[in-house]
């Protein structure tokens, strides 16, 4: 647990003195990107999906391209994995080097484009558990980053470019296709009426979620269709602890409190706020059905990397405006507010680590004593 805490502190705190100008911001993004890459790349047997991807890598060594064409993995993942396997057939760790590089690159690119304080994006990305997700849900996380980077086309009203981005993302995980209608949904202004519709419609979907899932799977994905009553175990059931959803609800409330200031600073923050709403809602549904939680990932990436840092900055600005006649009081209130957010987020981060969220404990590296599983060529 200690190594994760030290890593979080190091990769965030170095950004405070650096991110004072464009050059410092570039230096920070380079340092933090390398740190995030190395920490993920050198891990070994860390994360529930590590062995899953490792075994698939080994299986692909014995399969032809025709066989891979029939495999359940999306071809944007399967074909590059096969090529890597043929090139580096002894060392499947190479695959994790590539994933770690792509995640670090896309996160830093997103933060560079959207924030003057990218260390805040790193902080929220890590404390919301998304860095841990990137060690496991690699297909979904790749698709999510591609989609979030492509959300700029919502701002420029370029639907067909957005559509191409989503289709490209679906090459890594088919769930990306769900994001097509959100081009229109996220453009809707968040008025009280709209929020009421979201709440009412969301409640109906929550109550009848199993019937809706059965209809959708039977109609579009028959191989996932499960007749009868909702199962008690597996992806269709719900085993998540409520504390995760409560934490995401607090994040939503925090952002919503500063919605007016966010929209005044940039009307496009309405889209990012919509992402936070749907991130919370899909996570809420995942309390009943684990599989639905995967749909929240693009919205969570957008919320953690873009919206929460902006809401945090709005909070600090509000403190300064509230006590603008008393500099000392403004400084104290800003410090207390920032510390409160940090304590809650770091507390949740520690809770995730302590409860072995996504199998992140113990953190092992390639420099340890664990024996390599050498594939047969």
- Which tens digit of pLDDT belongs to each residue from 209-260? 888 878 877 776 676 677 777 766 666 666 667 888 899 999 999 999 999 9
Does the pLDDT value for residue 29 go beyond 90?
yes
Q: pLDDT: is 78 or 302 the higher one?
A: 302
Q: Where are the beta strands (DSSP E) in the chain?
A: none
Tell me what the mean pLDDT of segment 349-356 comes to.
94
In the prediction, which pLDDT does 76 show? 83
Tell me what the mean pLDDT of segment 47-73 comes to.
80
Cα(51)–Cα(245) distance, integer angstroms: 28
In the prediction, which pLDDT does 337 show? 94
Cα(339)–Cα(345) distance, integer angstroms: 10
In the prediction, which pLDDT does 375 show? 45
Q: Which tens digits make up the pLDDT trace of 258-286?
A: 999 999 999 999 999 999 999 999 988 88
Does the pLDDT value for residue 291 go beyond 60?
yes
Which of the residue ranges 74-88, 106-120, 192-206 would you say has the lowest mean pLDDT?
74-88
Tell me what the mean pLDDT of segment 361-367 comes to.
89
Domain range list for the chain: 2-359
Tell me what the mean pLDDT of segment 364-372 comes to.
73
In the prediction, which pLDDT does 36 show? 97
Does the pLDDT value for residue 321 go beyond 60?
yes
Are 289 and 206 in contact by the 8 Å Cβ rule? The answer is no
In the prediction, which pLDDT does 376 show? 47
Are 104 and 1 in contact by the 8 Å Cβ rule? The answer is no
Other Cβ atoms within 10 Å of 188 Cβ, number:
13
Give percent of the chain above pLDDT 70. 93
In the prediction, which pLDDT does 377 show? 43
Distances (CA, A) of 281 to 124, 174, 329: 19, 20, 37
Per the DSSP assignment, residues forming a β-bridge with 42 are none
Q: pLDDT: is 64 or 158 the higher one?
A: 158
Confidence of residue 293 (pLDDT cuts 50, 70, 90): confident
Confidence of residue 368 (pLDDT cuts 50, 70, 90): confident
Could you tell me which residues come within 8 angstroms of residue 342 by beta carbon, excluding any fewer than 6 positions away? Answer: 123
What's the token pair of residue 122?
A: 């790193």
Confidence of residue 371 (pLDDT cuts 50, 70, 90): low
Which pTM value belongs to this model?
Answer: 0.92
In the prediction, which pLDDT does 224 show? 66
Highest-scoring range by mean pLDDT, 168-177, 300-309, 357-366: 300-309
Does the pLDDT value for residue 45 go beyond 50?
yes
What's the token pair of residue 81?
A: 């994995």
Cα(131)–Cα(126) distance, integer angstroms: 5
In the prediction, which pLDDT does 185 show? 95
Highest-scoring range by mean pLDDT, 188-202, 315-329, 363-377: 188-202
């Amino acid at each position: 647990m200690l190594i994760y805490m030290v890593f979080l502190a190091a990769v965030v705190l170095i950004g405070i003195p650096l991110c004072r100008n464009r050059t410092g911001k570039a230096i920070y993004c380079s340092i933090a990107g390398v740190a995030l890459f190395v920490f993920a790349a050198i891990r070994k047997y860390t994360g529930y999906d590590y062995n899953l991807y490792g075994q698939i890598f080994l299986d692909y060594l014995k399969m032809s391209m025709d066989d891979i064409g029939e495999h359940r993995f999306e071809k944007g993942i399967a074909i590059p994995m096969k090529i890597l396997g043929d090139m580096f057939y002894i060392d499947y760790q190479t695959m994790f080097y590539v994933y770690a590089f792509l995640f670090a690159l896309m996160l830093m690119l997103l933060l560079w484009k959207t924030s003057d304080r990218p260390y805040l994006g790193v902080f929220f990305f890590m404390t919301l558990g998304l860095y841990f997700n990137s060690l496991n849900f690699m297909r979904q996380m790749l698709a999510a980053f591609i989609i979030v980077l492509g959300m700029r086309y919502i701002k420029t009203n370029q639907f067909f470019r957005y559509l191409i981005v989503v289709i490209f993302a679906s090459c890594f995980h088919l769930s990306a296709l769900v994001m097509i209608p959100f081009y229109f949904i996220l453009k809707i202004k968040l008025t009280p009426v709209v929020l009421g519709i979201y709440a009412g419609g969301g409640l109906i979907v929550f109550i009848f979620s199993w019937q809706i899932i059965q209809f959708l799977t039977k109609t579009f994905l028959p191989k996932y269709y499960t007749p009868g009553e909702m199962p008690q175990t597996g992806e269709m059931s719900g085993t998540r602890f409520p504390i995760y959803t409560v934490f995401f609800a607090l994040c939503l409330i925090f952002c919503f409190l500063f919605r007016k200031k966010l929209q005044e600073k940039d009307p496009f923050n309405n889209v990012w706020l919509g992402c936070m709403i749907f991130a919370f809602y899909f996570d809420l549904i995942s309390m009943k059905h684990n599989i639905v939680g995967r749909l929240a990932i693009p919205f969570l990436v957008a919320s953690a990397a873009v919206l929460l840092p902006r809401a945090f900055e709005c909070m600090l600005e509000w403190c300064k405006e509230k006590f603008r006649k008393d500099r000392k009081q403004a400084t104290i209130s800003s410090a207390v507010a920032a510390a409160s957010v940090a304590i809650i987020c770091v507390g949740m981060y520690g809770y995730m680590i302590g409860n072995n969220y996504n199998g992140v404990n113990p953190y092992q590296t390639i420099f340890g004593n664990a024996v390599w599983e050498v594939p047969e060529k």
